[in-house]
Amino acid sequence: MKSFLLCLCMLIGLLAAAQKKEKLFNGQDIKGWTIHGTEKWYAENGELVCESGPDKQYGYLSTDKNYKNFILTLEFKQEANGNSGVFFRSQIPEGVKISGWQAEVAPSGDHTGGIYESYGRGWLVQPKPEDEKYLKMGEWNTYKIKVDGDEVTTWLNGRMMCYIKDEKIGQGEGFIALQIHEGGGIKVRWKNIEIEELK
């Protein structure tokens, strides 16, 4: 009987943890998101696809809801040039000029997992050169981003890539956004985008 009750308590705990996670992409359309710019964002075969449009400019897909403290997990696959990123605590007052911070998604050797401040201080932290190899270009990668207070940690395919503690990040407010870089020729697929909000 004791073992049964213990198993039941563990199961309830696991279910409670699972319920805390929220799917940000429903696999069918971009409901719950807003497009900024003229680049292409669409759902295809249960995946979210971003692709350069005719203007070849920056483009963003932002959550309609703001998130402060959270653990975000997702998978991405870079097709062609994979220069993209995941913004957090960000805002776009007009056009495609974004303020906030980016967890980088980029081609091999270009610091996927690093933290970049747009229209501000630039690179805040980059992965160690020996950790650049954990990116699997042209294959599915698992990305985990933890934002809690003034601390940000990123993991790529299970490898911790970067950690930063920054007062300015701690004061930030805003949404989560996926980016497509300017220049054209970019295509990135995303799936299993889930968030767990932290207190």
Question: Long-range CB contacts (< 8 A, 24+ apart) of 36-40?
Answer: 36/60, 36/61, 36/62, 36/92, 36/95, 36/96, 36/98, 36/177, 37/95, 37/96, 39/180
What confidence tens digit (pLDDT) does each residue in 41-93 have? 999 999 999 998 888 889 999 999 999 999 999 999 998 776 899 999 999 99
**Cβ distance 176 to 22 under 8 Å?**
no
pLDDT band at 16 (very low <50, low <70, confident <90, very high): very low
Could you give the 3-state DSSP secondary structure of residue 4?
Answer: helix
What is the average per-residue pLDDT within 156-165? 98
pTM above 0.85, yes or no: yes
Residue position matching structure tokens 């990116």: 135
Residue position matching structure tokens 């934002």: 147
What confidence tens digit (pLDDT) does each residue in 79-137 have? 877 689 999 999 999 899 999 999 999 998 999 999 999 999 999 999 999 999 999 99
Helix (H) or strand (E) holding 3: helix 2-20
Structural domains of the chain, with CATH: 24-197 (2.60.120.560)
